[in-house]
């Protein structure tokens, strides 16, 4: 080895060890609460999903397994905005986005995925079986099939077909605030008047008995989106972020604006700075409000968050955002505070 190379290597190692020496990786870590598992997820539909997660958490299972199992319930149900029964894009195809992240900062994601019933499980396989974080479109589908996921029929559910035909009459793309809570059950036609309906997502974050955090997020995105459109939900840092030293956060609502501020990562970083989960969510929403100004009235954004102490909270841009919480002691739907009152 040349002297110069040796010198460069030695000085690099010296400066690295000086930097590492003055830095303790555990300094910033808050002691987790042990034995107090908790799961929270977005919107009213989160109640059913939390039950599924609790099947695992309640038995001392791992948060990662819980957040996958929990949102699979929503993916398999008939609803407007998650899974294959959901509303299609403008061209009449249902395209799904999902991501998952664990306590080791492992993460996996799929976007623009068609004909696969459980995108969250494909995201987990991407995380566990590939050197990548994100697969999209036909590549994601090809990977899913190779992994043994059945390719479902490319057929809209009866509800989605009806909604699509309704929508085609006007072909308007206008998000409707809080559509999630109006529609998480079977479709109700008169709610969908004028073709103006849009989005939903389930985001779930959990802490297990060991105090480890994980999160998941899955959606069909905005109803009647442009073909190929991907929102925040499958994007690590936007729709979901987990830092096992600090906390976890997930987002719902107008994905474009959540991406704009790296939403869920922002919430976690605000908790790292000492803000409570609710305050961190509120500050992130305020950041979006500042960017959007008047046009913020047209959209909804919601964040939920949990920290290592097991404290949790959520906040919405508009009134009407809800989130579901389950622990050994409570099972509850919370109405989140909002910046814009009505
Ligand atoms: C998206 N954030 O695709 C998703 C939609 C959503 O509640 O969350 N709706 O932009």
**pLDDT at 114 > cutoff 90:** yes
User: Domain residues of the chain, as ranges?
Assistant: 28-239+320-337
- Whether 252 is in the pocket of ligand 1, judged by its Cβ within 6 Å, is yes
Tokens of 205: 């974050």
pLDDT, position 245: 97
More confident residue, 171 or 109: 109
Give 176 Cα–ligand 1 centroid separation in angstroms. Answer: 11
- Report residue 26's pLDDT band, with 50, 70 and 90 as the boundaries: very low
Cα–Cα distance for residue pair 252/180, rounded to 1 Å? 10
Instruction: Tell which one of 233, 240, 262, 318 to mutate to probe ligand 1, the residue whose CB is within 8 A of the most ligand atoms.
Output: 233
Tokens of 203: 């985001």
- Of the chain, the percentage scoring pLDDT greater than 70 comes to 82
Q: What is the pLDDT of residues 282-328, one digit of tens each?
A: 999 999 999 999 999 888 999 999 999 999 999 999 998 999 999 99
Q: What is the pLDDT of residues 128-138, one digit of tens each?
A: 999 999 999 99
Q: Rounded to an integer, what is the distance from CA 266 to the centroid of its chain?
A: 14
Q: What is the largest CA-CA distance in the chain?
A: 78
Cα–Cα distance list, 242 to 17, 126, 162, 292 (Å) = 27, 17, 38, 26
Q: What is the pLDDT of residues 238-280, one digit of tens each?
A: 999 999 999 999 999 999 999 999 999 999 999 999 999 999 9
**pLDDT at 110 > cutoff 90:** yes
More confident residue, 219 or 26: 219
- Whether 232 is in the pocket of ligand 1, judged by its Cβ within 6 Å, is yes
Instruction: Tell which one of 44, 45, 180, 253 to mutate to probe ligand 1, the residue whose CB is within 8 A of the most ligand atoms.
Output: 253
Cα–Cα distance for residue pair 320/178, rounded to 1 Å? 6
pLDDT, position 169: 86
Look-up: residue for tokens 């994100």? 134
Q: Are 268 and 283 in contact (CB under 8 A)?
A: no
pLDDT, position 166: 87
Give 18 Cα–ligand 1 centroid separation in angstroms. Answer: 44
Strands 337-340 and 312-318 turn out to be parallel
Cα–Cα distance for residue pair 22/251, rounded to 1 Å? 35
Q: What is the pLDDT of residues 42-76, one digit of tens each?
A: 998 899 999 999 999 999 999 999 999 999 999 99
Residue 8: which residues within 8 A CB-CB, separation 6 or more?
none
- Whether 266 is in the pocket of ligand 1, judged by its Cβ within 6 Å, is no
Residue 22: which residues within 8 A CB-CB, separation 6 or more?
none
């Amino acid at each position: 080895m040349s002297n110069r190379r040796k010198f460069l290597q030695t000085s690099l190692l010296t400066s690295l060890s000086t930097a590492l020496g003055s830095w303790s990786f555990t300094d910033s870590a808050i002691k987790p609460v042990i034995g107090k598992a908790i799961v929270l997820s977005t919107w009213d539909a989160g109640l059913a999903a939390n039950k599924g997660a609790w099947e695992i958490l309640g038995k001392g299972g791992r948060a990662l397994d819980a957040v996958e199992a929990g949102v699979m319930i929503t993916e398999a149900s008939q609803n407007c905005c998650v899974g294959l029964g959901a509303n299609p894009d403008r061209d009449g195809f249902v395209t799904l986005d999902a991501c998952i992240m664990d306590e080791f900062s492992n993460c996996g994601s799929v976007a623009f995925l068609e004909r696969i019933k459980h995108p969250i499980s494909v995201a987990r396989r991407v995380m566990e079986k590939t050197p990548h974080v994100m697969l999209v479109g036909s590549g994601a589908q090809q990977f899913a099939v190779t992994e043994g996921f059945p390719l479902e029929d490319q057929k809209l559910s009866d509800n989605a077909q009806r909604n699509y035909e309704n929508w085609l009459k006007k072909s308007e793309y206008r998000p409707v605030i809080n559509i999630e809570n109006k529609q998480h059950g079977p479709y109700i036609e008169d709610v969908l008047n004028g073709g103006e309906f849009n989005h939903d997502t389930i985001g779930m974050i959990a802490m297990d008995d060991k105090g480890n955090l994980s999160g998941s997020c899955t959606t069909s995105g905005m109803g009647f989106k442009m073909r190929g459109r991907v929102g925040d939900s499958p994007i690590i840092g936007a729709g979901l972020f987990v830092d096992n030293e600090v906390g976890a956060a997930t987002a719902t609502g107008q994905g474009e604006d959540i991406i704009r501020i790296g939403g869920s990562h922002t919430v976690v970083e605000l908790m790292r700075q000492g803000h409570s989960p609710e305050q961190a969510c509120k500050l992130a929403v305020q950041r979006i409000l500042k960017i959007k100004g008047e046009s913020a009235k047209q959209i909804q954004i919601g964040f939920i968050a949990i920290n290592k102490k097991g404290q949790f909270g959520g906040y919405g841009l508009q009134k009407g955002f809800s989130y579901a919480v389950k622990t050994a002691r409570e099972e509850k739907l919370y109405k989140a505070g909002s910046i814009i009152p009505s």
